[in-house]
Amino acid sequence: MAELYGFDEFEKKMLELLEKEYPKEIEDELIRIAEKLKTDVKLRTRVDKGELRRSIDRVDPKQVNDGYQIEVGTNKDYAEPQEFGFRTKNGGFVKGTHMFETSIEDLIVDLPKELNRWVEKLLKELKV
């Protein structure tokens, strides 16, 4: 496979430019990706009364160190046993749904394609 010399440096400079000149666009894209993750997690969440599914939400992106951070999660204590599984009173075991783990793994696979689509759209809008 051929190497593209200087591409890493170009990519770094491009991201720095985007961060400086287009922070709103970056935040909007992070929100879109987080909303997709939130939807996927909710679809994989086991439902009894629906409280856990309804509690899954995201926070607005915030700038940290040299990038942005956005979180998807829940405040329900029983989310962890639902994620990883739990023992019942009679000694049985209920398998976890891995709703967060599986959704994040799927996102990681799709992320390069999603970001490429976004960068192409942004460059087209900027007429670059």
Cβ atoms 9, 15 nearer than 8 A: no
pTM score above 0.85: no
pLDDT at 68 (0 to 100): 82
Assess if residue 88 is contained within a domain. yes
Determine the Cα–Cα distance for residues 46 and 104; give it in Å rounded to an integer.
17
Assess if residue 103 is contained within a domain. yes
Assess if residue 2 is contained within a domain. no
Sequence-separated (6 or more) residues with CB below 8 Å from residue 74: 52, 55, 56, 57
Count helices and strands (H / E) in the chain: 5, 6
pLDDT higher than 80, residue 122: no
| Number of domains, the chain | 1
Beta-bridged to residue 68, according to DSSP, are: 63
Assess if residue 1 is contained within a domain. no
Expressed as residue numbers, the domain containing 38 is 7-126
Region for residue 18 given its phi and psi (left: phi exceeds 0; alpha: psi -120 to 50; beta: otherwise): alpha
pLDDT higher than 80, residue 118: yes
Residue whose tokens read 């192409």: 120
pLDDT at 5 (0 to 100): 58
pLDDT higher than 50, residue 1: no
pLDDT higher than 60, residue 4: no
Give the pLDDT confidence of 26-79 residue by residue, as tens digits: 888 889 999 999 999 999 999 989 999 999 999 988 888 877 889 999 999 999
